[in-house]
Amino acid sequence: MFHLSTHLFQKEKVIYRIFLILPFMFLLIILYFHKTRIHGDASIYFTFIRDFFPKPFVYGYEVKHGATSPLWVILNAIPYYLLGFEMWLVFATYLNKILIFLGTLFNILLCVSRKNSLIEKEEQILVVSIPILFYVFAYSLFISSTQLYETALTVFVSAFALYLLKLGWKNTGVFLAGCSILVRPEYILFFVITVFFISEDTKRFWKYLLIGISSFGVVYGYLFVMTGFLLPSSILGRFVRSLENKDISYIEKLLISFDDLWQFAPSLLFIIAIFILLFFLNLPKLVFDDKIKNIMFLSNAILTLIYFIFPPMNYSSRYLVTLIPLLSPWITMEVVKYFSKYAKIAIVVVLFAFSFAIYQHFQLNKPENYKYSFDRILGNDFAKIAQELGINEKSKILIYEIQFQFNTHAQLISADGIVGGEIIPCLLKKQDEEEFIKQYHIDYIVVSNAFQYRNIYHDTFFSRIFKFDLSNPIGSQYILSDIVLTKVATNPILLNPELYQIKNGIPLYSSKDILWKHHSLLWNSIYRVEKN
């Protein structure tokens, strides 16, 4: 095996230290490139964060499930309260940068830890370079974190938990592994696998299990008592997605998921391919002597298998980013084990790869690529019109873009069930639309393009009122059984044909609007609900 203790890379030489520091410098440069660019779904968190202290997990005057990552809400509640919205946006952006950097560092330390080191010290340059290289090519990690999703927290918590377990701090490591479920629900697999492998006997198994449960049991217990729901909304949201796409073949779903990855996170496909290759190389010895490697290997294998069995189609890269903190150190250790004799060549290749990564991130972060606007995503235009219509905090509005709750002084009810889930029986065809409207005392319905392009609304009241809306002016009435829906307002953009174009039957922003070129309108019209 080739070792890096040659004259050029001896530890007392300056060039050795440079090669150890350079990967961190590349990571810092890339972190600097990425600025805040808010995303509609990510901004759903904002209402939970803002109102956490008056009443935890409230959404528009009611406690509801819907925080996919409760820990992300809790972590941001105090700085939001102290700093206010504008300063908190800056804080949250830099918090994500710090979490990514620390997560990467803990992955590296996991490989070179002095206690029970998994990699020989002579190979530290590769051990430092490879994990950082995996991270810097995970473009979706940086993009989703600057959109203020919970992905950076996913990287940090799981990487830190593994590192503590490596040091022998089992109680704290298990507690953090339990906390990872509060970051992403699928990490329950990581938690269970962790408890299984570090438990020497049945007594310790139950001890560690209780320690882990205590970390997320309080939050989920509160959600269950207050809302009747135990699971966060991402589970329900993906459940609804799977139902609306039930007529699409498995192969087509898989191809769509791969295409989504190819467009937004091609590096993840490459990393998974490396993992599968190393999996087959390890077939003769699938169970390793090191328990931490077993945890990483089995977590990787099951999470990857779930991806292949249940292709997500949408947001593939965001879901698979959860693999990075588990795949990165495991692949690093295996690559060094099999290919360390080519270390000098590998170091040169890695340097070129870092340079290419910086170029790619620079291209991704040109100003014209920032297509999201705080004001539009948080629905300032909608909130202003709602106020002019006299809609007050007692009113209930059925709306697709639930993040508008942040600026709207009324109770918004999610039209796709991502927050609260009230409409799910209706979407599952177990409840008529008029019954739903009456049961929840809906006062207003906001028509959205989603009623046309999402399969779950196909051939329902929602798709029909969308078609009605495109060809009828303010004041028009739509009759649903004994309910009258009167069009009382429309999106100002739709009042000016120069600002939008109809494509595939859906209004899109005109090319004159650079930031939102070809983007779907977030809302079309408002209908008042009255009994006939």
Q: What percent of the chain has pLDDT over 70?
A: 89
Q: What integer is the mean pLDDT of 245-273?
A: 79
Q: How many residues does the chain have?
A: 532
Mean predicted lDDT score pLDDT of the chain: 84
The residues with which 374 forms a beta bridge, in sequence order, are none
Average pLDDT over residues 227-231: 77
Percentage of the chain beyond pLDDT 90 is 39
> Dmax over Cα atoms in the chain, in whole Å?
89
Report the C-alpha gap between 3 and 42 in whole angstroms: 46
Do residues 291 and 198 touch, judged by C-beta distance below 8 A? Answer: yes
pLDDT tier for residue 91 given thresholds of 50, 70 and 90: very high
What's the pLDDT band for 118 if we cut at 50, 70, 90? very low
Nearest to 34 by CA among 115, 92, 73: 92
Residue 123: pLDDT over 80:
no
Q: For residue 435, what pLDDT is reported?
A: 94
* Each residue's pLDDT tens digit, 148-174: 999 999 999 999 999 999 988 999 999
- Provide the total of helices (H) and of strands (E) in the chain, helices listed first: 23, 8
- Confidence at residue 172, expressed as pLDDT on a 0 to 100 scale: 93
Per-residue pLDDT, averaged over 487-492, amounts to: 95
Amino acid at 264: F
111, 332 contact by CB (below 8 A): yes
408 and 394 Cβ atoms separated by less than 8 Å:
no
Which range, of 22-26, 205-209, 295-299, 314-318, averages the lowest pLDDT? 314-318
Is the confidence at residue 5, as pLDDT, over 70?
no
Work out the average pLDDT over 419-442: 90
Q: What is the pLDDT of residues 314-346, one digit of tens each?
A: 777 777 888 889 988 888 888 877 766 666 667
Residue 517 pLDDT: 72
d(CA 260, CA 234): 19
pLDDT tens for each residue of 339-376:
666 666 677 777 778 888 887 777 777 666 666 677 78
Cα separation of 81 and 56, whole Å? 13
DSSP assignment of 323-384 equals GHHHHHHHHHHHHHHHHGGGHHHHHHHHHHHHHHHHHHHHHHTSGGG----HHHHTTHHHHH
- Taking only the tens place, the pLDDT of each residue in 512-522 is 766 677 788 89
- Give yes or no for residue 396 having a pLDDT over 60: yes
- Section 514-531 average pLDDT: 86
Residue 218: both structure tokens together: 């309080």
Interval 272-311: pLDDT, tens:
888 888 877 776 666 566 788 889 888 988 888 888 888 8
- The average pLDDT across 106-134 equals 71
Q: How confident is the model at residue 484 (pLDDT cuts 50, 70, 90)?
A: very high
Pairwise CA distance, residues 355 & 26, whole Å: 8
**pLDDT given for residue 401 in this prediction:** 94
